[in-house]
Structure 1
Amino acid sequence: MNADLGSLRTPLCDLLGCEYPVILAGMGGVARAELAAAVANAGGFPTLGMVREAPSLIASEIRAYRRHADRPFAVNLIPAATDPDLLNQQIDTCLSHDVKVFSFFWDVVPAIVARVKEAGCQVLYQVGTERAAQEAEAAGADVLIAQGQEAGGHVHGQTGTFDLTRALIDNFDLPVVASGGISTGDGLSRALYLGAQGIQCGTAFLATEESFAHDYHKQRIVAAEAQHTVLTDGFVLNWPKGSAVRVLQNSVTAAFGTELMGHDPDTIPRMVIAHDGDIPRLRQSTDSPLRTTTGKLEAMALYAGQGVGEIRDIPAAGEILNRVVRQAFRSLESMPDFGEFTRSATWKP
C-alpha cells in the first residue's frame, strides 16, 4: 500500500482481499486482464468483464491476469444476455480455473447463484432496484452493488445512485457498494459517509492506458460533459428488448430524435458497420469499439456514465485509483465529524 494515501479500509476490503474499497466494473470487452491487473496492483478490486465471451478467451484472460497480479479478482457474467449453454460453459471454465468470486448483473437467476455458491465462491450482485436486491439477497449474494441511473453502459433501474445506495443500506444487512456516475474521490467519500462499504467505477477506468477500449472511445470520454450522455434502448442487439444503456451522443442517437426508448430488436436491420478481426459488429448492437475494432467507430455504442465530465486525461489505472483515494481522504477530513467517523469500526485513517 502507498503510505501517503492513508487508509480507506472497510470490511469490504477484508471480504474481497483488497486494500481500497474501489471495484473495477466488469465492463464487457473493456475490463480485460491488463486493466484488471493494474487496478489490483494499485490496491483496488478487479473484475474481468466476460459477458458472452468464449470460454477459451475467459481462460486466456484469467491466465494473463495471474501472470501480472497475484491478488483476488472477480469474473463478471450476465445470464440474461448469454445463451444458457454458453453460460454453463463459462461457469465451468471459471470454476476449473479456480475463480473464487463472481459478479452478476441484470435479472437475478437463483440457480446460477446457487451453483457458484455451492462451489465455495463469493457473489457480487449489481442491482438497480430494491426488488432486485431482495431477490439477490434471497439467492445468496454476498455483496449488493447499487447501480444508479447515472451509470454508463447497461442501466437496470431508474433511481439515482445515492438514493438507491441509501435505500439498500437502510433495508438490507449485506455490504452495499455504490455505482453509477462516480469517477472521483468525492463520490467515494460520499458513499462511505452514507454507510456504503465502497464504490464501483467503470467510465473512469475505461479512459485509462490499460483499458481495452479503442482510443477513439477514450478520447470521446475525455472531451465529454455529463449532458452529452443519453439513456436509450436503441443499442439493443445481443440483449433483451427494452435493455437501456447510457452512451455518448452520436449519429445513431441523433437519428432517434426524441424517440430514445421503445426500440424493438426484431425490427432493427442487421447492418454491419465494423469488425473485430473476422467478427462483424452491427449497427445498434451492444458492442463498443475495442482496440481491435475497425470500421465506423462513431456509430457504435460509446458507453459513458454521467461522471464523465470529471475525466480530462487518460492516465494509468493506478493513477486513477490513487487520485480517488487521496481525494476521498481529503474530503472526509474536511467533514465536521470526521474524528467520530474515523473511530468507527469500518474506517481506519
Structure 2
Amino acid sequence: MTAGSGSLRTPLCDRLGCDYPVILAGMGGVARAELAAAVANAGGFPTLGMVREAPSLIRSEIEAYRRLSDRPFAVNLIPAATDPGLLHRQIEICLSMEVAIFSFFWDVLPEAIARVKAAGALVLHQVGTLPAAREAEAAGADVLIAQGQDAGGHVHGRSPTFDLLRSVLDTTALPVVASGGIGSGKALARALTLGAQGVQCGTAFLATEESFAHDYHKQRIVTARGADTVLTDGFVLNWPMGSAVRVLRNSVTEAFGPTLMGHDPERIAREVIAYDGPTPRLRQSTDSPLRTTSGALEQMPLYCGTGADDIDAIVPAAQRLSVLCAEARAQLVSDRHSPPAGRS
C-alpha cells in the first residue's frame, strides 16, 4: 500500500488471503463460526476464538465455519494460559483438520510456535511489549500483532496502541498489525499510514449481529464511551495472577474503588453468579456473558476497548467492515490532498 493513495490493500492481504487488512480478533467465546464467516465473506480476515476450548468444540466450530465460508481463517489459542495437555490436544485437532494459520497471544511459548510451523502453518503472534515482539520473532512468528492498552479484553502491555506500533515497526521487518481501540476508519487509516499492514478489531465486531456475545454486552458497548472502560486484574479467576483486562465499569469494578490492580486469585471467593447451560460462572472470573448465559450479567466482565466511542449500533459484521473501510479510504484520500503539517 502507498500511504495516502486511498488503497487499503497491503501485502498482508495477499499472505492471508483476504481483501481488506482488517482482522477479526480471536475473542474467546465470542468469535465463533457465524461471526468469523461473516467477516471472511465480507473480505476481512477471520479468527476463531478457541481459547481453552475443548477439542470437540474446536472441531465443530471449524466444521461450521467451513459450511459458511471457503475463505482462509485462523484459530486463536493462548498457550501460556492453557493447561499443557489441553493445549497439545487443541493443536492436534487443528492440525488434523488442516488449519493453516494460527494466532497466539500472551507469553511467547517457542515450542508451540515450532510445532505448528513444522506442520507448515503460518503464525500470527499478538504481543503487548517490545521484548515480547522480539521473542515472538525469534521463535518464528510470521506476523506480529501489536496490542496496545486501549484494547478490550485481556491486555498484556501498558503502552498506547500507536506508541507500541511505532516501536515494533522500528525493530522488525515482519508485517505488523495494530490492535487496540481501533473502531473507526480514521484509526485504520492512521495505522496504515504509520506503516502497519493491517489492524485487528475486537470491540467493533463484538457489537455485531453475528457475534456470540450476549445482547446485554452488545448494548452496553453501544451506549458506552471509551472513558467508561477501566483496566483491572480483578477479573482473574481461571487466568494467571496479574492478568489485566479492559472492561466496562460495573458494580464489581466500582466495589474495587481505587484498587483496580493487585488482586490475588487465592483470596477471591468462588461465588457462582451465572450459568452457561449447566456450567457455572464465577464472580470475578474471566468469563464474559454469551448468548447462552443467564444470571447476573451486569457483574460479569464486559470486555470493551476505548474504540467504543465509534460504536453506536449493533449491525451486521459486513456492514461494520464496509463502513470502516470506506471511512479509511476517505481519510487516506483526504490526507493525500491536505497540505503538509508545519514542523513544530
TM-score interval, smaller chain = over 0.9
Q: What is the CA distance between 1:237 and its match in structure 2? A: 0.5
For 2:46, the equivalent position in structure 1 comes to 46
Measured in 2, the distance between the counterparts of 1:170 and 1:309 equals 29
SS of corresponding position for 2:238 = coil
Measured in 1, the distance between the counterparts of 2:219 and 2:337 equals 40
For 1:271, the equivalent position in structure 2 comes to 271
Measured in 1, the distance between the counterparts of 2:54 and 2:27 equals 16
Amino acid in the other structure paired with 2:8:
L
Measured in 2, the distance between the counterparts of 1:245 and 1:251 equals 16
Measured in 1, the distance between the counterparts of 2:238 and 2:101 equals 25
For 2:111, the equivalent position in structure 1 comes to 111
CA RMSD of aligned residues (A): 1.1
Q: What is the CA distance between 1:7 and its match in structure 2? A: 4.5
Q: What is the CA distance between 1:309 and its match in structure 2? A: 1.3
SS of corresponding position for 1:114 = helix
Q: Does 2:212 correspond to 1:208?
A: no
Q: What is the CA distance between 1:336 and its match in structure 2? A: 3.5
Measured in 2, the distance between the counterparts of 1:7 and 1:164 equals 24
Q: What is the CA distance between 1:24 and its match in structure 2? A: 0.1
Q: What is the CA distance between 1:337 and its match in structure 2? A: 6.2
State TM-score, norm by structure 2.
0.96
Measured in 2, the distance between the counterparts of 1:323 and 1:184 equals 8
For 1:287, the equivalent position in structure 2 comes to 287
For 1:80, the equivalent position in structure 2 comes to 80
Q: What is the CA distance between 1:136 and its match in structure 2? A: 0.1
Unaligned runs of 5+ in 2: 1-5, 339-344
Give runs of aligned pairs for residues 214-253 of structure 1, distance below 5 A: 214-253=214-253
| Structure 1 outlier segments of 4+, above 6 Å | none
Measured in 1, the distance between the counterparts of 2:232 and 2:168 equals 26
Measured in 2, the distance between the counterparts of 1:310 and 1:257 equals 28
State TM-score, norm by structure 1.
0.95
**Per-residue CA shift, 1:301-330, capped at 9, x if unaligned?**
000000111100000000000001100000
Measured in 2, the distance between the counterparts of 1:68 and 1:322 equals 19
Give runs of aligned pairs for residues 1-349 of structure 1, distance below 5 A: 7-336=7-336
For 2:3, the equivalent position in structure 1 comes to none
Q: What is the CA distance between 1:80 and its match in structure 2? A: 1.7
Measured in 2, the distance between the counterparts of 1:75 and 1:276 equals 22
Measured in 1, the distance between the counterparts of 2:79 and 2:254 equals 31
Measured in 2, the distance between the counterparts of 1:77 and 1:151 equals 18
Measured in 2, the distance between the counterparts of 1:82 and 1:295 equals 26
Q: What is the CA distance between 1:226 and its match in structure 2? A: 0.9
Measured in 2, the distance between the counterparts of 1:309 and 1:329 equals 20
Measured in 1, the distance between the counterparts of 2:322 and 2:166 equals 26
Alpha-carbon contact 1:7-1:20 (below 8 Å) kept: no
Measured in 1, the distance between the counterparts of 2:232 and 2:8 equals 36
Amino acid in the other structure paired with 1:79:
P
**Per-residue CA shift, 1:83-140, capped at 9, x if unaligned?**
1100100000100111000000000000000000000000000000000000000000
**Per-residue CA shift, 1:253-278, capped at 9, x if unaligned?**
00000000000001111000000011
Unaligned runs of 5+ in 1: 1-5, 339-349
Measured in 2, the distance between the counterparts of 1:153 and 1:80 equals 16
**Per-residue CA shift, 1:161-218, capped at 9, x if unaligned?**
0011111111101000000000111011000000100000000000000000000000
